[in-house]
Amino acid sequence: MLPKLFASTVACDGPEVQLISPAPRRSARPVTRRQGMIRMSAVTLAISAASVVGSVAIAVSLPEVSVVTATQSTTAAVSPVSAAQTSGSTEGQPVLLTVAGP
């Protein structure tokens, strides 16, 4: 501001000198430390809430898995499923089957 005012003063040369000050700029008010902390906490809380909601939404959207018990009868029923598509095949334990197709 000061150099501009000085320059306009020396540039004006005449009996009637009128200094026209520039229109005040609407500068953004500086954010105080307290405001910054509040905004940061708000953003953190919003992202935390979105993360929790997002994880629940993803968990719900994941496809259903069939849990069967690897007994003698179910072994015969799932015999086309290859060993590579099963896990936890201990007898009597829950088995997660990933079956492609209808």
- Out of 6, 7, 12, 54, name the contact with another protein by CB under 8 A: 54
- The CB-side HSE value for 39 (13 A sphere, CA atoms) comes to 6
As to burial, measured by CB atoms within 10 angstroms (0-12 exposed, 13-18 middle, 19+ buried), residue 95 is buried
83 contacts another protein (rule: CB under 8 A) = no
Rounded-to-integer distance, Cα 34 and Cα 37, Å? 5
Compose the 14-43 pattern: x for residues touching another protein by CB under 8 A, - for all others.
Answer: -----------------x-x--xx-xx--x
65 contacts another protein (rule: CB under 8 A) = yes
Quick check: helix, strand or coil at residue 7? helix
94 contacts another protein (rule: CB under 8 A) = yes
46 contacts another protein (rule: CB under 8 A) = no
Closest residue by Cα to residue 92 from 73, 65, 79, 77 = 73
Contact residues for another protein, defined by CB under 8 A: 31, 33, 36-37, 39-40, 43-44, 47-48, 51, 54-59, 62-65, 67, 87-88, 93-96, 98
